[in-house]
């Protein structure tokens, strides 16, 4: 399964810090900044408290080990240590609470930003992205970012601040021991860089493989009827195992590489403590420092080991978040291909006069789908569109609603060029009833209200009556309050279609597009649907795509398309009398059903 053009290149490593910075922006910028700065201040003050504990311990050791020490002096340093520790615990609890709120808010903002941006993207974006792949980015990738926000960020910040403060304090107390303690740090940084070099692309690849797996699972679940009818269960299981195995293989490498850092860090920290003790012992023997200072440094080495270990332990979480964040930002950074011009005007409906002027269009550059299409539809006319599969029928509809922009030529409605109009005002006036009747998992009433904000129950019920849907809706268990299952699967195809027609009536558009709206239903249901459509199309300029030519015989004009070009454009009677392309298409469909029907040369029907 292809990930399309959004797949971030796995070899790209130099943007890791950029991705982390963008993720942190959701947690630290805007209205979150005051709370973030407060949490940071509390964190710093609290850490100063915990850093004071080894110093107090060292001073207490000096009281014991050096002449002249008193018991009161010893207890004073012990009290200071307890106060410093209590300060750390109290302020840390408040800081953690603030950071957890910031993390939850950041994830909410990222998910909202992602979903809202997806609503602005053009249809071609969804055409080239499998639904499962997009769902993986919305779910799997944001989950890795959620783990980063919830567990890694606060700990990383605490670890970094703690390391910096400890190093400063260590230099103030004894630069000799500080240099000894820091000899291990360059080695640790080098090992971290090596692990990151291997782990970062591995985690990026793992997220891609997860997307492939999610895409396959979504596709097979959606196509379960095909799998069952063709007895392809074994194939689905084997293919799923292969996709899952790919995730396992790449994930094992990624996690194994990142987890290596923890034991390596622990080993280096122990070496650091040994070095401090050895060097400190020498300095004590030479009279350069005291035993209390050495004990303090052992405590600081332990405090230094804790954040270093945390950073090592959170490496895999961070790398996963970077990989997931990169894929999420690939969508957020995607620009809509169809955009309103800066000076775009609102569409002003003046009757519904539609004109195509020498229109060319291609989905892929240099591969024309429509070629030199020119026609005029007068206000209130019904235009039937027919042709062989792949001839370009639905493409005409796609560019009329401006789901895509044309390559050349012009499309005008009531004298207004589509590309000079806002998309929202244009589509508000054009109702669309598709072959695939899509219903949301909601009540029947809410599915009807979806067409127009502010629609009343009475308006929806009246629309259902006009679409011949009211009777069967009232026979549902809870009538208009009956919940639809996913895609309305608890209704028949015809019932779903009648609800979509009623929904279009609620929208009350000025123009109408029907794309195979009566296919795959029985004759009686088709009659009911056609009656509803006739009421919906009354006095509206409408375009009706049909494979079943009987549904467009009474159209004012019929557009016969072949190979992306308009072969003929006239009424049914005129086209039949002409005995050209439409005549042959009609006769091929009714072969054996009409008197005198003969064999038709099918080679003349061309797909784009």
| Predicted confidence band of residue 7 (pLDDT cuts 50, 70, 90) | very low
At 173-195, the pLDDT tens digits run: 888 888 887 777 777 767 776 77
Residue 595 predicted with pLDDT over 50: no
Instruction: Give the angle 107-110-114 at the CA atoms, nearest 5°.
Output: 140
The better pLDDT of the pair 414, 306 is held by 414
What is the share, in percent, of the chain residues with pLDDT greater than 90?
16
Q: What distances in angstroms separate CA 249 from CA 152, 203, 256, one per listed residue?
A: 25, 11, 11
Mean pLDDT, to the nearest integer, of 132-151? 81
Residue 594 predicted with pLDDT over 50: no
The mean of the pLDDT values for the chain is 81
Q: Which pLDDT belongs to residue 353?
A: 93
Residue 123 predicted with pLDDT over 60: yes
Mean pLDDT, to the nearest integer, of 450-461? 88
Mean pLDDT, to the nearest integer, of 83-98? 89
Count how many residues are written for the chain. 608
DSSP state of 369: S
Q: Which pLDDT belongs to residue 5?
A: 46
Query: Which of 270, 297, 263 has the alpha carbon at shortest distance from 184?
Result: 270
Say how far apart CA 570 and CA 553 lie, in whole Å: 11
Q: Which pLDDT belongs to residue 222?
A: 66
Q: What distances in angstroms separate CA 492 from CA 323, 488, 520, 525, one per listed residue?
A: 43, 8, 11, 10
Q: Which pLDDT belongs to residue 604?
A: 57
Most confident of 278-292, 415-429, 533-547: 415-429
Q: Which pLDDT belongs to residue 605?
A: 55
Q: Which pLDDT belongs to residue 485?
A: 77
| Structural element, H or E, at residue 213 | helix 185-222
Residue 232 predicted with pLDDT over 80: no
The backbone torsions φ and ψ at residue 206, rounded to the nearest 5 degrees and listed phi first, read: -65, -40
Q: How many Cβ atoms sit within 10 Å of the Cβ of residue 468?
A: 21
Is pTM beyond 0.95 here?
Answer: no
| Predicted confidence band of residue 37 (pLDDT cuts 50, 70, 90) | very high
Residue 11 predicted with pLDDT over 90: no
| Predicted confidence band of residue 196 (pLDDT cuts 50, 70, 90) | low
- Contact in structure between 369 and 175 (CB atoms under 8 Å): no
Rg (CA), the chain: 35
Q: Which pLDDT belongs to residue 187?
A: 77
Of 205-214, 475-484, 551-560, where does mean pLDDT reach its minimum? 205-214
Q: Which domains does the chain have, with CATH numbers?
A: 4-332 (1.20.1560.10), 352-429+512-521+542-594 (3.40.50.300)
Q: Which pLDDT belongs to residue 1?
A: 40
Chain centroid to CA 160:
32
β-pairing, 541-545 vs 382-386, is parallel
Q: Which pLDDT belongs to residue 225?
A: 61
Residue 230 predicted with pLDDT over 70: no
Q: Which pLDDT belongs to residue 167?
A: 84
Residue 596 predicted with pLDDT over 80: no
| Predicted confidence band of residue 543 (pLDDT cuts 50, 70, 90) | very high
Mean pLDDT, to the nearest integer, of 141-145? 85
Q: Which pLDDT belongs to residue 346?
A: 93
Q: Which pLDDT belongs to residue 569?
A: 93
β-pairing, 511-515 vs 416-417, is unpaired
Residue 539 predicted with pLDDT over 80: yes
Of 6-20, 85-99, 190-204, 357-371, where does mean pLDDT reach its minimum? 6-20
Of 81-85, 167-171, 190-194, where does mean pLDDT reach its minimum? 190-194
For 176-195, give one letter per residue: b (16+ CB within 10 A) or e. bbbebbbebeeebeebbeeb
Residue 201 predicted with pLDDT over 80: no
At 286-325, the pLDDT tens digits run: 778 777 787 887 877 777 777 776 776 677 778 888 888 8
The better pLDDT of the pair 598, 375 is held by 375
Query: Which of 389, 392, 494 has the alpha carbon at shortest distance from 435?
Result: 494
């Amino acid at each position: 399964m292809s990930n399309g053009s959004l797949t971030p290149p796995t070899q790209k490593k130099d943007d890791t810090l950029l991705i982390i910075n963008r993720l942190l922006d959701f947690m630290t910028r805007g209205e979150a900044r005051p709370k973030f700065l407060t949490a940071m201040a509390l964190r710093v003050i609290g850490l100063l408290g915990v850093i004071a504990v080894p110093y107090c311990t060292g001073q207490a050791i000096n009281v014991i080990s050096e002449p002249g020490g008193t018991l009161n002096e010893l207890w004073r340093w012990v009290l200071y240590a307890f106060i410093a520790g209590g300060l750390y615990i109290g302020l840390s609890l408040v800081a953690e609470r603030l950071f957890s709120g910031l993390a939850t808010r950041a994830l909410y903002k990222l998910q909202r930003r992602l979903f809202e941006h997806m609503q602005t993207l053009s249809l071609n974006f969804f055409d080239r992205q499998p639904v499962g792949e997009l769902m993986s980015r919305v779910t799997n990738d944001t989950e890795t970012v959620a783990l980063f926000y919830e567990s890694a960020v606060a700990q990383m910040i605490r670890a970094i601040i703690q390391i910096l403060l400890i190093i400063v304090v260590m230099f103030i107390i004894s630069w000799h021991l500080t240099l000894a303690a820091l000899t291990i740090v360059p080695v640790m940084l080098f090992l971290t860089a090596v692990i990151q070099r291997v782990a970062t692309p591995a985690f990026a690849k793992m997220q891609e493989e997860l997307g492939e797996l999610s895409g396959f699972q979504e596709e097979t679940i959606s196509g379960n009827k095909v799998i069952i009818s063709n007895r392809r269960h074994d194939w689905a299981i084997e293919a799923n195992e292969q996709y899952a195995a790919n995730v396992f293989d790449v994930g094992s490498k990624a996690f194994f590489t990142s987890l290596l850092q923890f034991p390596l860090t622990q080993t280096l920290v122990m070496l650091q403590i040994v070095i401090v003790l050895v060097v400190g012992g020498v300095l004590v023997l030479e009279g350069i420092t005291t035993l209390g200072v050495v004990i303090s440094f052992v405590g600081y080495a332990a405090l230094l080991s804790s954040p270093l270990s945390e950073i090592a332990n959170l490496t895999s979480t961070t790398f996963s978040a970077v990989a997931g964040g990169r894929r999420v930002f690939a969508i957020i950074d995607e620009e809509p291909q169809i955009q309103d011009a800066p000076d775009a005007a609102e569409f002003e409906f003046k009757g519904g006069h539609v004109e195509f002027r020498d229109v060319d269009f291609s989905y892929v550059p240099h591969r024309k789908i429509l070629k030199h299409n020119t026609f005029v539809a007068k206000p209130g006319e019904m235009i039937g569109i027919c042709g062989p599969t792949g001839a370009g029928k639905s493409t005409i509809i796609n560019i009329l609603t401006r789901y895509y922009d044309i390559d050349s030529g012009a499309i005008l409605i009531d004298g207004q060029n589509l590309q000079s109009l806002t998309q929202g005002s244009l589509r508000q006036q054009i109702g669309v009833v598709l072959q695939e009747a899509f219903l949301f998992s909601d009540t029947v009433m809410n599915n009807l209200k979806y067409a127009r904000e502010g629609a009343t129950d009475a308006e929806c019920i009246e629309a259902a009556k006009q679409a011949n849907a009211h009777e069967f809706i009232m026979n549902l268990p809870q009538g208009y309050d009956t919940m639809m299952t996913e895609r309305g699967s608890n209704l028949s195809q015809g019932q779903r279609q009648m609800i979509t027609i009623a929904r279009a009536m609620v929208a009350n558009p000025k123009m109408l597009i029907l794309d195979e709206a009566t296919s795959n239903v029985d004759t009686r249901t088709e009659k009911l649907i056609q009656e509803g459509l006739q009421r919906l199309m009354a006095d509206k300029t409408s375009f009706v795509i049909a494979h079943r030519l009987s549904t467009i015989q009474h159209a004012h004009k019929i557009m016969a398309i072949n190979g992306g070009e308009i072969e003929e454009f006239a009424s049914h009677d005129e086209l039949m009398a002409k005995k050209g392309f439409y005549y042959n298409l009609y006769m091929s469909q009714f072969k054996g059903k009409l008197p005198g029907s003969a064999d038709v040369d099918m080679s003349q029907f061309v797909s784009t």
